Amino acid sequence: MSLFSKIKNLIKFLLGEPRIAPTSGKTLLYIWIKEDLKNFKGDLGVDFGGGTMQNKKYFATKKYVCVDSTKSELDKGLIENPDAIAVNMKMQDYMKKNLKEKADFLLCVQTMGSNYYFQHNETFETIKQMYFFLKPGGNMVFNIGITDKSLNELKDQIVEFFNKKFQSLDVRDYGDFDIAPKKPSWPVIILFYAYLMKIFFPFRNLFNSKKNKIYFVCKNKL
């Protein structure tokens, strides 16, 4: 067995099956999701822009609903997750239609400021809508990318809106950190960089990286 294979097996043993993306910044996002979502229980969890439902394994809610505007992605997700509920609809429309069944937990990552199909000028209003769609005591996790506003301006606007609305609000800035070379050990290097970014804050915005994403963890709606 090669050294690379031994390292991969060791990673699987220590970390399970980590979700590794093309950049360390996005891999860091998946590490955060895995760690944060296990703490958020309840009856209903909704994954906005969840696509093929790769986030489902991290949900601790009894019921998992994946809302996405691309039906082919949802169909792929249902093959591996037949117990999931797939809704082919814009997230804003889903929340308007289901106001009577508010959620205990909401997730929306790699959509606002990232996804081609999302109207990014609606980011702030959509986040407000998510807040009102959440039950008292509920939690929500989301990230945002660059929209029609500066990222810092949008961040300040969101933080001001959430003031005294949650028991705690955790806001984390990060970038891509996409300097990993394209070679067989590439996934291992990406994962290594992602953990460096997780542990050492300055690494989140170094080298080819720049702050182009912000991650929010909103706990216990008041």
Is-contact 130 145, C-beta < 8 A? no
At 180, the pLDDT band (50, 70, 90 cuts) reads: low
Ordered by start, the domain boundaries in the chain are 3-221
Q: What is the pTM of this model?
A: 0.90
At 14, the pLDDT band (50, 70, 90 cuts) reads: very low
The kind and range of the H/E element at 194 are helix 186-199
Percent of the chain residues past pLDDT 70, beyond the cut: 87
Model pLDDT, residue 15? 54
Give which of 220, 193, 222, 188 is closest to 207, Cα–Cα: 193
Please give the mean pLDDT across all residues of the chain: 88
Is-contact 24 200, C-beta < 8 A? no
Classify domain 3-221 at the CATH topology level.
Rossmann fold (3.40.50)
**Residue 167 corresponds to which amino acid?**
Q
Coil, helix or strand at residue 86: strand
- How far is residue 24's CA from residue 50's CA, in Å, rounded to a whole number? 20
Which one is predicted more confidently, 93 or 186? 93
Model pLDDT, residue 207? 61
Calculate mean pLDDT across residues 1-21. 59
**Exposed e or buried b for every residue in 41-79, given b needs 16+ CB within 10 A?**
ebebbbbbbbbbbbbbebbebebbbbbbbeeebbeebbe
**Residue 16 corresponds to which amino acid?**
G
> 189-222, pLDDT tens digit by residue?
888 889 989 999 888 887 655 678 999 999 999 9
How does DSSP assign 142-184, residue by residue? EEEE--SS-HHHHHHHHHHHHTTTEEEEEEEEE-------SST
